[in-house]
Amino acid sequence: MSTQKKILTTPIKDEDLAELNVGDVVYLTGQLVTCRDVAHRRLIELGRDLPVNLEGGAIFHAGPIVRQKDDGSYEMVSIGPTTSMRMEKFEREFIARTGVKLVVGKGGMGAETAAGCLENKAVHAIFPGGCAVLAATQVEEIEDAQWKDLGMPETLWVNRVREFGPLIISIDTKGRNLIDENKARFNEKKKPILERINREVRFIK
Amino acid sequence: MEETANRDAAVQQLTDVMWKFTAYIGKRLPTDVTAKLADLRSKETHPLAAAVYQSMKENQEAADRLDRPSCQDTGVIQYFINAGARFPLLGELEDILRNATLEATRQGPLRHNAVETFDEKNTGTNTGSKIPWLDWEIDPKGDSATIDVYMAGGGCTLPGAAKVLMPGEGYEGVAEFVFDVITSRGVNACPPMLVGVGVSTSAETAARLSKKAILRPVDSRHPNANAARMEELLEEGLNEVGLGPQGLTGNASVMGVNIESSARHPSTIGVAVSTGCWAHRRGRIRINADLSYEILSHEGVAL
Protein backbone atom coordinates (compact mmCIF):
# COMPACT_ATOMS: atom_id res chain seq x y z
CA MET A 1 0.00 0.00 0.00
CA SER A 2 2.78 2.43 0.94
CA THR A 3 4.36 2.28 -2.53
CA GLN A 4 1.33 4.01 -4.05
CA LYS A 5 0.46 6.30 -1.18
CA LYS A 6 -2.15 8.80 -2.36
CA ILE A 7 -1.39 12.15 -0.73
CA LEU A 8 -3.66 15.20 -0.69
CA THR A 9 -2.07 18.59 -0.11
CA THR A 10 -3.84 21.73 1.12
CA PRO A 11 -5.21 23.84 -0.49
CA ILE A 12 -7.17 20.94 -1.97
CA LYS A 13 -8.65 21.46 -5.45
CA ASP A 14 -11.80 19.88 -6.86
CA GLU A 15 -9.80 17.77 -9.30
CA ASP A 16 -7.76 16.26 -6.42
CA LEU A 17 -10.95 14.66 -5.13
CA ALA A 18 -12.78 13.83 -8.36
CA GLU A 19 -11.32 10.34 -8.76
CA LEU A 20 -11.65 9.33 -5.11
CA ASN A 21 -14.21 6.70 -4.17
CA VAL A 22 -15.52 5.44 -0.84
CA GLY A 23 -13.13 2.93 0.69
CA ASP A 24 -10.03 4.54 -0.83
CA VAL A 25 -7.17 5.29 1.55
CA VAL A 26 -5.43 8.68 1.36
CA TYR A 27 -3.04 10.80 3.44
CA LEU A 28 -2.95 14.55 4.03
CA THR A 29 -0.03 16.97 3.98
CA GLY A 30 -0.53 20.64 4.83
CA GLN A 31 -2.92 22.35 7.21
CA LEU A 32 -5.49 20.50 9.34
CA VAL A 33 -7.70 22.46 11.73
CA THR A 34 -9.56 20.86 14.64
CA CYS A 35 -13.19 21.86 14.59
CA ARG A 36 -16.06 20.26 16.49
CA ASP A 37 -19.38 20.88 18.24
CA VAL A 38 -19.20 24.45 19.51
CA ALA A 39 -17.25 25.86 16.54
CA HIS A 40 -19.92 24.47 14.21
CA ARG A 41 -22.67 26.00 16.34
CA ARG A 42 -20.94 29.36 16.48
CA LEU A 43 -20.66 29.55 12.69
CA ILE A 44 -24.09 28.20 11.76
CA GLU A 45 -26.39 29.09 14.63
CA LEU A 46 -24.74 32.15 16.12
CA GLY A 47 -23.56 33.59 12.80
CA ARG A 48 -20.00 34.22 13.96
CA ASP A 49 -17.17 34.14 11.44
CA LEU A 50 -14.62 31.37 11.84
CA PRO A 51 -11.23 32.80 12.84
CA VAL A 52 -9.48 30.48 10.36
CA ASN A 53 -9.75 30.45 6.55
CA LEU A 54 -10.86 26.98 5.43
CA GLU A 55 -11.14 27.59 1.67
CA GLY A 56 -9.68 24.41 0.11
CA GLY A 57 -8.83 23.32 3.63
CA ALA A 58 -9.27 20.34 5.89
CA ILE A 59 -10.96 20.06 9.29
CA PHE A 60 -10.59 17.36 11.90
CA HIS A 61 -13.43 16.46 14.24
CA ALA A 62 -11.10 16.09 17.19
CA GLY A 63 -10.39 17.41 20.64
CA PRO A 64 -6.73 16.82 21.38
CA ILE A 65 -4.49 16.71 24.42
CA VAL A 66 -2.08 19.62 24.02
CA ARG A 67 0.84 20.52 26.24
CA GLN A 68 2.05 24.12 26.48
CA LYS A 69 5.81 24.36 26.58
CA ASP A 70 7.82 26.85 28.66
CA ASP A 71 8.37 29.13 25.63
CA GLY A 72 4.58 29.37 25.18
CA SER A 73 4.42 27.16 22.09
CA TYR A 74 2.22 24.10 22.00
CA GLU A 75 3.05 20.41 21.67
CA MET A 76 0.54 17.91 20.29
CA VAL A 77 0.36 14.96 22.70
CA SER A 78 -2.63 12.92 21.49
CA ILE A 79 -5.15 13.72 18.77
CA GLY A 80 -7.60 11.05 17.65
CA PRO A 81 -10.89 11.62 15.84
CA THR A 82 -14.19 12.17 17.60
CA THR A 83 -17.70 11.08 16.56
CA SER A 84 -18.47 12.94 13.32
CA MET A 85 -22.20 12.27 13.54
CA ARG A 86 -22.48 14.93 16.26
CA MET A 87 -21.75 17.55 13.60
CA GLU A 88 -24.34 16.18 11.10
CA LYS A 89 -26.81 18.91 11.94
CA PHE A 90 -24.37 21.60 10.76
CA GLU A 91 -21.96 20.07 8.26
CA ARG A 92 -23.82 20.63 4.98
CA GLU A 93 -24.04 24.37 5.58
CA PHE A 94 -20.57 24.40 7.13
CA ILE A 95 -19.06 22.97 3.93
CA ALA A 96 -21.01 25.44 1.76
CA ARG A 97 -20.05 28.45 3.88
CA THR A 98 -16.37 27.69 4.47
CA GLY A 99 -15.28 25.96 1.25
CA VAL A 100 -13.69 23.15 3.27
CA LYS A 101 -12.77 20.19 1.05
CA LEU A 102 -11.86 17.43 3.49
CA VAL A 103 -13.72 16.62 6.70
CA VAL A 104 -11.97 14.03 8.87
CA GLY A 105 -13.52 12.23 11.81
CA LYS A 106 -14.70 8.85 12.93
CA GLY A 107 -17.83 6.86 12.21
CA GLY A 108 -20.01 7.94 9.33
CA MET A 109 -22.08 11.01 8.68
CA GLY A 110 -25.64 11.21 7.37
CA ALA A 111 -27.56 12.11 4.24
CA GLU A 112 -27.28 15.87 4.75
CA THR A 113 -23.48 15.80 4.84
CA ALA A 114 -23.43 13.48 1.84
CA ALA A 115 -25.58 16.02 -0.02
CA GLY A 116 -23.19 18.79 1.04
CA CYS A 117 -20.22 16.78 -0.26
CA LEU A 118 -21.97 16.22 -3.58
CA GLU A 119 -22.97 19.88 -4.00
CA ASN A 120 -19.61 21.35 -3.02
CA LYS A 121 -17.25 18.59 -4.19
CA ALA A 122 -15.94 17.75 -0.74
CA VAL A 123 -15.25 14.43 1.00
CA HIS A 124 -15.54 12.94 4.49
CA ALA A 125 -12.84 10.54 5.65
CA ILE A 126 -12.37 8.32 8.69
CA PHE A 127 -9.16 8.30 10.68
CA PRO A 128 -9.09 5.11 12.83
CA GLY A 129 -10.64 6.00 16.20
CA GLY A 130 -8.52 5.75 19.31
CA CYS A 131 -5.26 5.99 17.33
CA ALA A 132 -4.41 9.33 18.86
CA VAL A 133 -0.66 9.00 19.37
CA LEU A 134 -0.20 7.73 15.83
CA ALA A 135 -2.02 10.87 14.68
CA ALA A 136 0.04 13.13 16.97
CA THR A 137 3.28 11.80 15.51
CA GLN A 138 2.07 13.05 12.11
CA VAL A 139 1.57 16.61 13.39
CA GLU A 140 4.72 18.56 12.67
CA GLU A 141 3.72 21.74 14.45
CA ILE A 142 0.79 23.56 16.01
CA GLU A 143 0.83 26.82 14.06
CA ASP A 144 -2.02 28.62 15.75
CA ALA A 145 -4.82 28.28 18.29
CA GLN A 146 -8.12 30.18 18.01
CA TRP A 147 -11.17 30.38 20.27
CA LYS A 148 -9.15 29.19 23.24
CA ASP A 149 -12.01 30.32 25.46
CA LEU A 150 -13.67 27.02 24.54
CA GLY A 151 -11.13 24.96 26.49
CA MET A 152 -8.66 22.34 25.33
CA PRO A 153 -11.00 19.96 23.45
CA GLU A 154 -12.96 22.64 21.56
CA THR A 155 -10.22 25.14 20.66
CA LEU A 156 -9.49 25.45 16.92
CA TRP A 157 -5.97 24.02 16.81
CA VAL A 158 -4.28 24.80 13.49
CA ASN A 159 -1.89 21.95 12.74
CA ARG A 160 0.70 21.44 10.08
CA VAL A 161 0.59 17.73 9.26
CA ARG A 162 2.69 15.44 7.12
CA GLU A 163 1.25 12.30 5.50
CA PHE A 164 -1.53 12.30 8.03
CA GLY A 165 -3.52 9.07 7.86
CA PRO A 166 -4.68 6.50 6.99
CA LEU A 167 -7.78 8.42 5.94
CA ILE A 168 -10.51 6.13 4.65
CA ILE A 169 -12.91 7.94 2.32
CA SER A 170 -16.40 7.41 3.72
CA ILE A 171 -18.34 9.99 1.67
CA ASP A 172 -17.08 10.83 -1.82
CA THR A 173 -17.80 13.71 -4.17
CA LYS A 174 -20.45 11.63 -5.98
CA GLY A 175 -22.42 11.46 -2.73
CA ARG A 176 -21.79 7.79 -1.93
CA ASN A 177 -21.85 7.12 1.81
CA LEU A 178 -19.88 4.03 2.89
CA ILE A 179 -21.02 3.85 6.53
CA ASP A 180 -24.68 4.43 5.61
CA GLU A 181 -24.41 1.59 3.11
CA ASN A 182 -22.74 -0.60 5.74
CA LYS A 183 -25.38 0.22 8.36
CA ALA A 184 -28.19 -0.76 5.99
CA ARG A 185 -26.44 -4.08 5.42
CA PHE A 186 -25.83 -4.63 9.16
CA ASN A 187 -29.52 -4.03 9.87
CA GLU A 188 -30.57 -6.46 7.14
CA LYS A 189 -28.30 -9.16 8.57
CA LYS A 190 -29.65 -8.60 12.07
CA LYS A 191 -33.14 -10.02 11.60
CA PRO A 192 -32.46 -13.73 10.95
CA ILE A 193 -29.70 -13.75 13.61
CA LEU A 194 -32.11 -12.41 16.22
CA GLU A 195 -34.78 -14.94 15.24
CA ARG A 196 -32.28 -17.70 15.88
CA ILE A 197 -31.14 -16.25 19.23
CA ASN A 198 -34.69 -15.65 20.37
CA ARG A 199 -35.60 -19.30 19.94
CA GLU A 200 -32.92 -20.08 22.54
CA VAL A 201 -33.56 -17.37 25.12
CA ARG A 202 -37.21 -18.03 25.97
CA PHE A 203 -36.25 -18.44 29.61
CA ILE A 204 -39.69 -17.21 30.72
CA LYS A 205 -42.04 -20.12 30.04
CA MET B 1 0.58 14.33 66.84
CA GLU B 2 2.67 11.47 65.53
CA GLU B 3 -0.49 9.63 64.60
CA THR B 4 -1.66 12.58 62.50
CA ALA B 5 1.70 12.77 60.74
CA ASN B 6 1.56 9.05 59.99
CA ARG B 7 -1.94 9.43 58.63
CA ASP B 8 -0.95 12.35 56.39
CA ALA B 9 1.97 10.30 55.09
CA ALA B 10 -0.34 7.36 54.39
CA VAL B 11 -2.80 9.61 52.54
CA GLN B 12 0.04 11.01 50.42
CA GLN B 13 1.35 7.53 49.72
CA LEU B 14 -2.01 6.26 48.45
CA THR B 15 -2.64 9.47 46.46
CA ASP B 16 0.68 8.92 44.68
CA VAL B 17 -0.19 5.33 43.85
CA MET B 18 -3.65 6.27 42.57
CA TRP B 19 -2.60 9.22 40.38
CA LYS B 20 0.16 7.18 38.83
CA PHE B 21 -2.20 4.26 38.25
CA THR B 22 -4.87 6.57 36.80
CA ALA B 23 -2.39 8.16 34.39
CA TYR B 24 -0.98 4.72 33.53
CA ILE B 25 -4.25 3.16 32.43
CA GLY B 26 -4.70 5.91 29.83
CA LYS B 27 -1.48 4.76 28.20
CA ARG B 28 -1.58 0.97 28.24
CA LEU B 29 -4.54 -1.30 27.73
CA PRO B 30 -5.24 -4.09 30.22
CA THR B 31 -3.69 -7.47 29.50
CA ASP B 32 -6.97 -9.22 28.59
CA VAL B 33 -7.93 -6.48 26.10
CA THR B 34 -4.50 -6.48 24.44
CA ALA B 35 -4.64 -10.26 24.04
CA LYS B 36 -8.18 -10.15 22.62
CA LEU B 37 -7.26 -7.46 20.09
CA ALA B 38 -4.22 -9.44 18.95
CA ASP B 39 -6.48 -12.47 18.49
CA LEU B 40 -9.07 -10.52 16.46
CA ARG B 41 -6.35 -8.87 14.37
CA SER B 42 -4.82 -12.24 13.48
CA LYS B 43 -8.20 -13.53 12.30
CA GLU B 44 -9.18 -10.50 10.21
CA THR B 45 -9.38 -11.14 6.46
CA HIS B 46 -10.93 -7.90 5.12
CA PRO B 47 -8.08 -5.67 3.80
CA LEU B 48 -9.50 -2.36 5.07
CA ALA B 49 -10.24 -3.85 8.50
CA ALA B 50 -6.75 -5.36 8.63
CA ALA B 51 -5.28 -1.93 7.87
CA VAL B 52 -7.24 -0.40 10.76
CA TYR B 53 -6.08 -3.14 13.15
CA GLN B 54 -2.53 -2.36 12.01
CA SER B 55 -3.03 1.34 12.86
CA MET B 56 -4.37 0.32 16.28
CA LYS B 57 -1.28 -1.80 16.93
CA GLU B 58 1.08 0.98 15.78
CA ASN B 59 -0.79 3.41 18.01
CA GLN B 60 -0.39 1.29 21.13
CA GLU B 61 3.31 0.86 20.39
CA ALA B 62 3.72 4.63 19.91
CA ALA B 63 1.83 5.35 23.16
CA ASP B 64 4.16 2.98 24.95
CA ARG B 65 7.32 4.38 23.37
CA LEU B 66 6.38 8.03 23.86
CA ASP B 67 4.64 7.49 27.22
CA ARG B 68 1.44 9.24 26.15
CA PRO B 69 -2.32 8.60 26.47
CA SER B 70 -3.15 6.23 23.63
CA CYS B 71 -6.49 7.92 22.90
CA GLN B 72 -6.93 11.66 23.23
CA ASP B 73 -10.27 11.25 24.94
CA THR B 74 -9.24 10.27 28.43
CA GLY B 75 -12.84 10.50 29.59
CA VAL B 76 -14.46 11.74 32.73
CA ILE B 77 -12.74 9.68 35.38
CA GLN B 78 -14.81 7.07 37.18
CA TYR B 79 -13.71 4.98 40.14
CA PHE B 80 -15.58 1.82 41.13
CA ILE B 81 -14.64 1.06 44.70
CA ASN B 82 -15.13 -2.13 46.63
CA ALA B 83 -13.82 -1.22 50.05
CA GLY B 84 -13.67 -3.19 53.24
CA ALA B 85 -15.40 -1.46 56.17
CA ARG B 86 -12.11 -1.83 58.05
CA PHE B 87 -9.92 -0.38 55.27
CA PRO B 88 -7.78 2.13 57.20
CA LEU B 89 -8.21 5.08 54.78
CA LEU B 90 -11.91 4.58 54.05
CA GLY B 91 -12.84 8.07 55.25
CA GLU B 92 -10.01 9.68 53.29
CA LEU B 93 -10.59 7.76 50.06
CA GLU B 94 -12.89 10.30 48.40
CA ASP B 95 -10.35 13.12 48.82
CA ILE B 96 -7.52 10.83 47.77
CA LEU B 97 -9.24 9.92 44.50
CA ARG B 98 -10.14 13.54 43.76
CA ASN B 99 -6.53 14.58 44.26
CA ALA B 100 -5.36 11.59 42.23
CA THR B 101 -7.52 12.84 39.34
CA LEU B 102 -6.06 16.36 39.62
CA GLU B 103 -2.51 15.06 39.62
CA ALA B 104 -3.09 12.55 36.80
CA THR B 105 -4.57 15.40 34.75
CA ARG B 106 -1.44 17.50 35.27
CA GLN B 107 1.14 14.78 34.87
CA GLY B 108 -0.58 12.21 32.62
CA PRO B 109 -1.51 14.47 30.98
CA LEU B 110 -5.25 13.90 30.61
CA ARG B 111 -7.49 15.95 28.34
CA HIS B 112 -9.67 18.42 30.20
CA ASN B 113 -13.09 16.83 29.93
CA ALA B 114 -15.12 17.91 32.96
CA VAL B 115 -17.63 20.53 31.87
CA GLU B 116 -19.75 21.92 34.69
CA THR B 117 -23.33 21.09 33.70
CA PHE B 118 -25.66 24.11 33.27
CA ASP B 119 -22.74 26.51 33.71
CA GLU B 120 -21.22 24.98 30.55
CA LYS B 121 -17.69 25.80 31.64
CA ASN B 122 -14.79 23.40 31.31
CA THR B 123 -13.24 23.25 34.78
CA GLY B 124 -9.80 22.54 33.27
CA THR B 125 -9.01 20.04 36.03
CA ASN B 126 -11.13 16.97 35.26
CA THR B 127 -12.82 17.52 38.60
CA GLY B 128 -16.22 19.08 39.10
CA SER B 129 -19.44 18.45 40.94
CA LYS B 130 -19.55 14.71 41.72
CA ILE B 131 -16.60 14.18 39.34
CA PRO B 132 -14.53 12.03 39.50
CA TRP B 133 -17.56 9.77 39.77
CA LEU B 134 -17.32 7.36 42.68
CA ASP B 135 -19.30 4.13 42.82
CA TRP B 136 -19.13 2.51 46.26
CA GLU B 137 -19.58 -1.02 47.46
CA ILE B 138 -18.72 -1.80 51.07
CA ASP B 139 -17.52 -5.22 52.10
CA PRO B 140 -18.58 -5.39 55.77
CA LYS B 141 -15.76 -7.72 56.80
CA GLY B 142 -12.83 -6.65 54.63
CA ASP B 143 -9.80 -4.47 55.39
CA SER B 144 -8.55 -3.97 51.80
CA ALA B 145 -9.94 -1.92 48.90
CA THR B 146 -10.23 -2.96 45.27
CA ILE B 147 -10.58 0.01 42.90
CA ASP B 148 -11.43 -0.03 39.21
CA VAL B 149 -10.38 3.08 37.31
CA TYR B 150 -12.38 3.64 34.14
CA MET B 151 -11.66 6.17 31.43
CA ALA B 152 -14.49 6.14 28.87
CA GLY B 153 -14.38 8.48 25.91
CA GLY B 154 -17.46 10.25 24.58
CA GLY B 155 -17.69 7.93 21.57
CA CYS B 156 -18.13 4.75 23.55
CA THR B 157 -20.39 6.49 26.09
CA LEU B 158 -22.87 7.79 23.49
CA PRO B 159 -24.53 4.42 22.66
CA GLY B 160 -25.40 3.89 26.35
CA ALA B 161 -29.10 3.14 26.78
CA ALA B 162 -31.52 1.72 29.32
CA LYS B 163 -35.18 0.85 29.38
CA VAL B 164 -37.72 -1.25 31.20
CA LEU B 165 -39.44 -4.04 29.28
CA MET B 166 -42.72 -5.74 30.05
CA PRO B 167 -42.30 -9.38 31.05
CA GLY B 168 -44.15 -10.45 27.90
CA GLU B 169 -41.23 -9.09 25.86
CA GLY B 170 -39.02 -11.56 27.69
CA TYR B 171 -35.31 -12.15 27.15
CA GLU B 172 -36.12 -11.92 23.45
CA GLY B 173 -36.76 -8.23 24.11
CA VAL B 174 -33.39 -8.01 25.86
CA ALA B 175 -31.62 -9.51 22.83
CA GLU B 176 -33.43 -7.15 20.47
CA PHE B 177 -32.55 -4.13 22.61
CA VAL B 178 -28.86 -5.09 22.63
CA PHE B 179 -28.81 -5.59 18.85
CA ASP B 180 -30.65 -2.33 18.18
CA VAL B 181 -28.18 -0.35 20.27
CA ILE B 182 -25.12 -1.95 18.70
CA THR B 183 -26.20 -1.94 15.04
CA SER B 184 -27.69 1.56 15.16
CA ARG B 185 -25.12 3.36 17.31
CA GLY B 186 -22.18 1.02 17.76
CA VAL B 187 -20.29 2.14 14.66
CA ASN B 188 -19.35 5.39 16.36
CA ALA B 189 -18.13 3.68 19.53
CA CYS B 190 -14.89 2.41 17.96
CA PRO B 191 -15.60 -1.30 17.49
CA PRO B 192 -14.59 -4.00 18.24
CA MET B 193 -16.42 -3.10 21.43
CA LEU B 194 -16.87 -4.78 24.75
CA VAL B 195 -20.62 -4.85 25.31
CA GLY B 196 -21.94 -4.72 28.86
CA VAL B 197 -25.55 -5.71 29.45
CA GLY B 198 -27.41 -5.23 32.73
CA VAL B 199 -30.56 -7.29 33.26
CA SER B 200 -32.33 -6.21 36.38
CA THR B 201 -35.44 -4.60 37.80
CA SER B 202 -35.38 -0.93 36.74
CA ALA B 203 -33.58 1.53 34.51
CA GLU B 204 -30.94 2.61 37.01
CA THR B 205 -30.15 -0.83 38.47
CA ALA B 206 -29.75 -2.24 34.95
CA ALA B 207 -27.60 0.73 33.92
CA ARG B 208 -25.23 0.36 36.85
CA LEU B 209 -24.89 -3.38 36.24
CA SER B 210 -24.22 -2.83 32.53
CA LYS B 211 -21.21 -0.70 33.46
CA LYS B 212 -20.03 -3.27 36.01
CA ALA B 213 -20.25 -5.84 33.21
CA ILE B 214 -17.59 -4.10 31.10
CA LEU B 215 -15.27 -3.95 34.09
CA ARG B 216 -15.15 -7.75 34.05
CA PRO B 217 -12.44 -9.55 32.05
CA VAL B 218 -13.30 -9.74 28.34
CA ASP B 219 -13.65 -13.52 28.13
CA SER B 220 -15.28 -14.09 31.53
CA ARG B 221 -18.70 -15.73 31.77
CA HIS B 222 -21.73 -15.12 33.99
CA PRO B 223 -22.04 -17.87 36.66
CA ASN B 224 -25.64 -18.65 35.70
CA ALA B 225 -25.82 -21.11 32.78
CA ASN B 226 -28.70 -19.33 31.00
CA ALA B 227 -26.98 -15.97 31.29
CA ALA B 228 -23.67 -17.43 30.10
CA ARG B 229 -25.45 -18.98 27.11
CA MET B 230 -27.03 -15.62 26.33
CA GLU B 231 -23.59 -13.95 26.47
CA GLU B 232 -22.32 -16.50 23.94
CA LEU B 233 -25.32 -16.14 21.65
CA LEU B 234 -25.16 -12.34 21.65
CA GLU B 235 -21.42 -12.36 21.06
CA GLU B 236 -21.64 -14.81 18.14
CA GLY B 237 -24.67 -13.05 16.71
CA LEU B 238 -23.18 -9.56 16.89
CA ASN B 239 -19.95 -10.82 15.33
CA GLU B 240 -21.97 -12.36 12.50
CA VAL B 241 -23.28 -8.85 11.71
CA GLY B 242 -19.62 -8.02 11.02
CA LEU B 243 -19.26 -4.34 11.93
CA GLY B 244 -15.48 -4.65 11.79
CA PRO B 245 -13.12 -2.08 13.32
CA GLN B 246 -14.61 1.44 13.00
CA GLY B 247 -17.72 -0.04 11.34
CA LEU B 248 -15.87 -0.50 8.05
CA THR B 249 -16.99 -4.17 7.87
CA GLY B 250 -14.90 -7.05 9.15
CA ASN B 251 -14.94 -10.49 10.72
CA ALA B 252 -15.93 -9.30 14.21
CA SER B 253 -18.03 -6.59 15.85
CA VAL B 254 -17.23 -7.09 19.49
CA MET B 255 -14.46 -8.17 21.84
CA GLY B 256 -17.13 -9.83 23.96
CA VAL B 257 -20.52 -9.53 25.63
CA ASN B 258 -20.73 -9.56 29.43
CA ILE B 259 -24.03 -9.68 31.29
CA GLU B 260 -24.53 -8.72 34.93
CA SER B 261 -27.87 -9.33 36.61
CA SER B 262 -29.87 -9.01 39.80
CA ALA B 263 -33.20 -10.43 40.94
CA ARG B 264 -36.12 -8.37 39.64
CA HIS B 265 -39.74 -7.44 40.11
CA PRO B 266 -42.00 -10.02 38.41
CA SER B 267 -43.67 -7.27 36.37
CA THR B 268 -40.52 -5.69 34.93
CA ILE B 269 -37.33 -6.49 33.05
CA GLY B 270 -34.89 -3.62 33.28
CA VAL B 271 -32.23 -3.76 30.56
CA ALA B 272 -29.30 -1.50 29.84
CA VAL B 273 -26.32 -1.49 27.51
CA SER B 274 -22.93 0.13 28.08
CA THR B 275 -20.14 -0.16 25.56
CA GLY B 276 -16.38 -0.06 25.95
CA CYS B 277 -14.40 0.89 22.82
CA TRP B 278 -11.47 -1.19 21.55
CA ALA B 279 -9.23 1.20 23.51
CA HIS B 280 -10.93 -0.06 26.66
CA ARG B 281 -9.02 1.79 29.33
CA ARG B 282 -9.80 0.25 32.65
CA GLY B 283 -7.53 -0.88 35.44
CA ARG B 284 -8.03 -2.78 38.68
CA ILE B 285 -5.85 -2.35 41.73
CA ARG B 286 -6.12 -3.91 45.17
CA ILE B 287 -4.82 -1.87 48.10
CA ASN B 288 -4.09 -3.84 51.24
CA ALA B 289 -4.52 -2.58 54.80
CA ASP B 290 -0.76 -1.84 55.02
CA LEU B 291 -1.08 0.11 51.71
CA SER B 292 0.94 -2.41 49.76
CA TYR B 293 -0.81 -2.95 46.45
CA GLU B 294 -1.30 -5.38 43.61
CA ILE B 295 -2.32 -4.43 40.05
CA LEU B 296 -4.77 -7.05 38.85
CA SER B 297 -5.55 -5.80 35.33
CA HIS B 298 -2.13 -5.22 33.78
CA GLU B 299 0.86 -7.56 33.77
CA GLY B 300 4.35 -6.18 34.26
CA VAL B 301 3.43 -2.70 35.50
CA ALA B 302 5.89 -0.40 37.22
CA LEU B 303 4.17 2.70 38.63
Model ipTM value:
0.90
The C-alpha angle with vertex B160 and arms to B97 and B130, in degrees rounded to 5, equals 25
Give the model's confidence band at A1: pLDDT under 50 very low, under 70 low, under 90 confident, else very high: very low
Does residue B239 surpass a pLDDT of 70?
yes
Distance of alpha carbon B111 from alpha carbon B152, whole angstroms: 12
pLDDT tens digit sequence for A66-101: 999 999 999 999 999 999 999 999 999 999 999 999
Longest dimension (CA), chain A: 71
Q: What is the radius of gyration, based on Cα positions, of chain B?
A: 20
The stretch B124-132 carries a mean pLDDT of 97
Please name the amino acid found at residue A12.
I
Asked if A193 and B245 come within 8 Å (Cβ–Cβ), the reply is no
Q: Which A residues, 2 through 61, put their C-beta within 8 Å of a C-beta on chain B?
A: 23, 25
Which domains, ranges and CATH numbers included, belong to chain B?
1-28+70-153+281-295 (3.30.1330), 158-276 (no CATH)
C-alpha to C-alpha distances, B218 to A57, A112, A136, B36, nearest whole angstrom: 42, 38, 29, 8
Asked if B51 and A108 come within 8 Å (Cβ–Cβ), the reply is no
Residues of A marked as catalytic: 40
Q: Which fold has domain A7-177?
A: fumarase (3.20.130)
pLDDT at B227 (0 to 100)? 98
Q: What is the average pLDDT value for chain B, to the nearest integer?
A: 96
Give the model's confidence band at A2: pLDDT under 50 very low, under 70 low, under 90 confident, else very high: very low
By CB atoms closer than 10 A (0-12, 13-18, 19+), residue B229 is middle
pLDDT at B83 (0 to 100)? 98
Q: Which A residues, 60 through 119, put their C-beta within 8 Å of a C-beta on chain B?
A: 62-65, 67, 77-80, 82-85, 106-108
Give the model's confidence band at B3: pLDDT under 50 very low, under 70 low, under 90 confident, else very high: confident
Of B234, B220, B225, B218, give the one whose Cα is nearest residue B271: B234
**Global confidence as pTM:** 0.93
The stretch B28-49 carries a mean pLDDT of 97
pLDDT tens digit sequence for A26-50: 999 999 999 999 999 999 999 999 9
Q: Which residue of B has its CA nearest to A1?
A: B51
pLDDT at A3 (0 to 100)? 58
pLDDT tens digit sequence for B148-200: 999 999 999 999 999 999 999 999 999 999 999 999 899 989 999 999 999 99
pLDDT tens digit sequence for B65-79: 999 999 999 999 999
Give the model's confidence band at A160: pLDDT under 50 very low, under 70 low, under 90 confident, else very high: very high
Does residue B1 surpass a pLDDT of 70?
no
The domain locations on chain A are: 7-177
